[in-house]
Amino acid sequence: MNTQIDLMYMKEKMPDPIIHNPFEDVYSPSDDSFLILDFIRSKISQEFFDEIPIREIENILDLGTGTGIVAIFLELLNMFPSKIYASDILQNAIKCAQINEKRNNIDNKINYIHSNLFESFPNHLKDSFEIIIFNPPYLPSIKRIERKRIDYLWDGGIDGLKVLSKFFSQVERYLNHQKKCHIYYICSSNTNLDELYKFIDENGFKNEVLLNRHIFFEDIFLNRATLK
């Protein structure tokens, strides 16, 4: 079997994790989640992930992990020697991800952090991550008299920028400046993209749209941001 065929065979053996979500307030895997998994499948080899040597990736962060699907998928690949961290603002999301970790026969390998973005991250994780993956609430707010807790799973505030702008104002200090770093994040055609990309540029990042998928009333985009 030649190298190209062997790699294709390997990627076919990368099934989605087994995910169960018993919590109403935890975001269940959707098209945006699977867009991330598809990209990972397309860009990983035995030596590189998206042009970064795998041996140089020491720490990976799945921010806003939800059910843990991305972090668990990365661990199941068994190709990264790096530590994998998963974080979420909701305690139920951490519980859900830990349940799913066990359902996928992973023995407490993922490091969990209960945090609102980077608010509760320990200081030793500053300047640590080569890869950060973030599937945030990115849809613009809907005017409601009373907002339900579940709305925060998708509600990105006015223009869909509230969470993403806060993220990009904080994330630079958690990247490993000694190595090549990539940030991958999801946004929508309903997000104010002009303002978002302008904000990202002003915060010192170059942005590139990697993949997009049309679903119902919107297009969703997987982006890669790198330090200039």
Residues 44-55: tens digit of each pLDDT: 988 999 999 999
Mean pLDDT score, 102-129: 96
Identify the CATH number of the domain defined by range 33-227: 3.40.50.150
Give the number of other CB atoms < 10 A from CB of residue 217: 8
In terms of DSSP H, where are the helices of 104-192? 162-170
Q: Which two tokens stand for residue 131?
A: 């890869």
Contact 211, 39 (CB under 8 A): yes
Contact 159, 179 (CB under 8 A): no
**Can you tell me the distance from the alpha carbon of 102 to that of 107, in angstroms, rounded to the nearest whole number?**
7
φ, ψ for residue 209 (rounded to 5)?
A: -80, 125
Mean pLDDT score, 56-63: 97
The reported pLDDT for the residue numbered 223 is: 97
Label residue 93 left, alpha or beta by phi (over 0 means left) and psi (-120 to 50 means alpha).
alpha
At 184, the pLDDT band (50, 70, 90 cuts) reads very high
Matching residue, tokens 């790198």 = 226
At 150, the pLDDT band (50, 70, 90 cuts) reads very low
**Can you tell me the distance from the alpha carbon of 74 to that of 83, in angstroms, rounded to the nearest whole number?**
10
- SS3 assignment, position 62: strand
Residue by residue, DSSP assigns 180-227 as --EEEEEEETTS-HHHHHHHHHHTTEEEEEEEEEEETTEEEEEEEEEE
Query: Which residues are paired to 114 by β-bridges?
Result: 88
Q: Which two tokens stand for residue 80?
A: 């990264």
**Can you tell me the distance from the alpha carbon of 15 to that of 139, in angstroms, rounded to the nearest whole number?**
29
The reported pLDDT for the residue numbered 162 is: 86
Give yes or no for residue 75 having a pLDDT over 80.
yes
Q: Which two tokens stand for residue 15?
A: 């099934």
The reported pLDDT for the residue numbered 141 is: 63
φ, ψ for residue 162 (rounded to 5)?
A: -60, -50
Give yes or no for residue 186 having a pLDDT over 70.
yes
